[in-house]
Chains A and B, each alone.
Chain A
């Protein structure tokens, strides 16, 4: 209930943001130097306050000091606009520990909106990142982009229009992503090569894929222990507008929750509704667009120990993306039928069960039989009735 109210208020806020944009606010370009200087001079414990207003930047901002807070007057009131950005791969790049940012918007960054790297202690609260021209391939890749970070909290925030992922957490440890709204991104929320993350209370709506849990080859850290729970993952049916070649370019439009080559994922208590390809997709790197043989032997390509329980599934699977899936749906379920709620590509390790455990009553799995060229796509009745130990809740280290 609480969550719904929050989500509703978030939606309201973005709606207000939209209206303000239409009114073409006067942007202030003189603030750029002042803010960058404040960021350069920041000392641990400093709070940089950005008053209400729309500020224009032609270069990316950066912060390296530890223990700094950046605070706006509200995500509809304080807007940092990078529409005219000439240089810098991010709107704001942060490398300091114990970083907190809240109550502002970052719009139209040329690359990523807010990137935080190599930091311990990241809090992003009531921040909106958006590309204001709607979903477009030219939009920046990531909205929120903490990578190689620890103790990360992203909450009550909004991400709109990213050409890759609205909220992306990569190669990080100890992460909470909660009560956010992600819409009109290719991936709403993506957790990649991350260990110990709780993703809950979020609304992922009208993206190409709602919530993604990915494990990519050729990185130092493999993902592990991800809980995705009590989210609303609805109508993620937007045509994929990612740059071809990016991993998310292979996400079919209409994907609710996607697990790719990732072990130890617990998905529970979510409402997953009307995602036209499938409400849940469990897959291996082998069925992605980056399936090649150049990863190291230590990389585990199979999704294993995936638990689904207590979820509410509704609709979806009725209009899958891509010719092959469309044909398969027609053949197996007829023109008015739909895929089951869970679509599995069928890749499993030799000699052991992948332990894909589905506790949701009546939830069926379509085995796409991709290892055999999808010759025998079928609804598997057996093999998913196992149970797994619940994963532990994430606890962030005490802030500051």
Chain B
């Protein structure tokens, strides 16, 4: 039945009439990404499926300068949960496609370009697709799947054990070869299980605060929260956007960066609570790292004595680990091979501007 539907959907899209119809698989994991219909390749572009909503985060997680096309497809409204991603109904499929602008055999470090939406796909002549990750809300909870694109960019296949994709990143600073790491299923869980005592996977990105940001939809630019409510993706709640832009201040930007890049592990119930380090938006004092000695950082200390030494980024463990490429020392532990130079600069500026000292 599903297959028949899919065939019809494909036929339709081939005629250029209609986008592919997404499919929710309640139990099985199809081997091909195209079976889901959330995103698929058509006429040289990566396109969204019918009714699939693209979104972007205000402060995204760094992944080796990859660009990310995020989509949500759902059958009902999600219920907000404050600082964490809302509770989406069974049948929701979130996707995140990791891609780079490319030039020859290199991938490029570049700003985000035109948003992908219902009328405009991603031009594959200029972009290289790496992988598409799915979070699927089934009756027993969320499932994480990663599909790796073939070289021809015609199809992505399920790769449960992850993969290493050798890439060379070109930027104004030159060329840098690095292994792009596609996570295995358990590594997906190592970030998406935010509460290590409870054990369930959950989405991390689409919190209300992260969605409170404009997106270039087919019908024009609009605030994502408003758009999600209008499209029946999100229950309208009392979420009050900050009257001032939280990213306007240095502190706001740095804390948002730490929350997006670290707090999925470094929260009071997260896998990194062993470190005593809490990098959620509400953390403070030693828990945030101020004059806090490392517990079990091993080589991750870089010879530095405290998580954060106010005014001294070059003496802080935090910046050492963000600047490291050594798998045994770097933070985050998974999800990157390269250093986020801009993120590092932000954290250095933030720590550099702090007053005080560690005794």
| Residue ranges of A at the interface with B (Cβ–Cβ < 8 Å) | 32-33, 36-37, 39-40, 58-60, 62-64, 85-89, 93, 95, 109-112, 117-118, 137-138, 140-142, 145, 147-148, 163-164, 168, 170-171, 192, 216-220, 243-247, 289-290, 292-296
Contact = CB atoms under 8 A, between A and B. Distances in A.
Nearest to B296: A170
28 contacts: A36-B162, A36-B184, A37-B160, A40-B160, A40-B185, A58-B164, A59-B164, A59-B184, A86-B164, A89-B328, A93-B186, A110-B326, A111-B298, A111-B299, A118-B196, A140-B328, A141-B297, A141-B298, A142-B296, A168-B296, A216-B295, A243-B303, A245-B302, A245-B304, A245-B317, A289-B305, A292-B306, A294-B358
B296 A147 contact: yes
A87 B186 CA distance: 14
Interface string B83-108: 00000000000000000000000000
B273 interface: yes
Nearest to B333: A89
Nearest to B328: A111
Given A88-B327, A216-B293, A218-B287, 14 more contacts: A40-B160, A62-B184, A86-B179, A111-B327, A141-B298, A142-B298, A147-B296, A170-B295, A217-B293, A218-B295, A220-B276, A243-B303, A245-B294, A246-B297
A33 B274 contact: no
A294 B190 contact: no
B298 A163 contact: yes
Nearest to B317: A245
A372 to B, nearest CB: 19
A147 B274 contact: yes
Given A62-B184, A89-B333, A118-B196, A246 B328 contact: no
Contacts of A219: 274, 276, 295
Given A64-B189, A117-B196, A147-B274, A87 B337 contact: yes
Interface residues of B, number: 49
Nearest to B277: A218
A33 B185 CA distance: 12
Contacts of B290: 294
A126 B82 CA distance: 47
Given A59-B181, A86-B179, A118-B271, A246 B298 contact: yes
B80 interface: no
A33 B181 CA distance: 14
Contact of A138 (B181, B286, B299, B334): B299
Contact of A62 (B190, B296, B304): B190
A87 B334 contact: yes
Interface in B319-359: 326-330, 333-334, 337, 358-359
A-B complex: 4 closest residue pairs judged by Cβ atoms: A141-B298, A245-B301, A111-B328, A290-B293
Contacts of B287: 218
A295 B299 contact: no
Contacts of B359: 292-294
Contacts of B274: 117, 147-148, 170-171, 219
B292 A64 contact: no
B197 A87 contact: no
B63 interface: no
B79 interface: no
A109 B293 CA distance: 25
B187 interface: yes
Interface string B278-312: 00000001110011111111111111111000000
Nearest to B335: A87
A39 B299 contact: no
A189 to B, nearest CB: 15
A142 to B, nearest CB: 7
Most interface-central of B161, B185, B302, B334 (chain A CB within 10 A) = B161
B57 to A, nearest CB: 23
A32 B161 CA distance: 9
B288 to A, nearest CB: 11
A244 B190 CA distance: 28
Contacts of A293: 291, 359
A86 B271 CA distance: 22
A261 to B, nearest CB: 12
A182 B299 CA distance: 20
Contact of B358 (A142, A164, A171, A292): A292
Contacts of A138: 299
Nearest to A247: B293
Contact of B186 (A39, A289, A296): A39
Given A164-B296, A219-B295, A293-B359, A40 B179 contact: no
A46 to B, nearest CB: 15
A246 B61 CA distance: 28
A168 B298 CA distance: 12
Contacts of B334: 87-89
B100 to A, nearest CB: 18
A89 B296 contact: no
A337 B49 CA distance: 82
Contact of B190 (A32, A93, A243): A93
Contacts of B164: 58-59, 86-87
A109 B328 CA distance: 8
A142 B330 CA distance: 15
Contact of B286 (A58, A59, A294): A294
B328 A141 contact: yes
Contacts of B305: 245, 289-290, 292
A191 to B, nearest CB: 13
Nearest to A164: B298
A85 B337 CA distance: 12
B276 A40 contact: no
Contacts of B197: 118
A179 to B, nearest CB: 25
A241 B223 CA distance: 54
Nearest to B162: A59
Contacts of A110: 326-328
Given A88-B334, A141-B328, A294 B291 contact: yes
B299 A243 contact: yes
Most interface-central of B276, B297, B328 (chain A CB within 10 A) = B328
A95 B189 CA distance: 11
B186 A141 contact: no
Nearest to A171: B274
Contact of A292 (B186, B291, B295): B291
Contacts of B286: 218, 294-296
Nearest to A292: B359
Contacts of B285: 294
B221 to A, nearest CB: 37
Interface in B175-198: 179, 181, 184-187, 189-190, 196-197
A109 B329 CA distance: 12
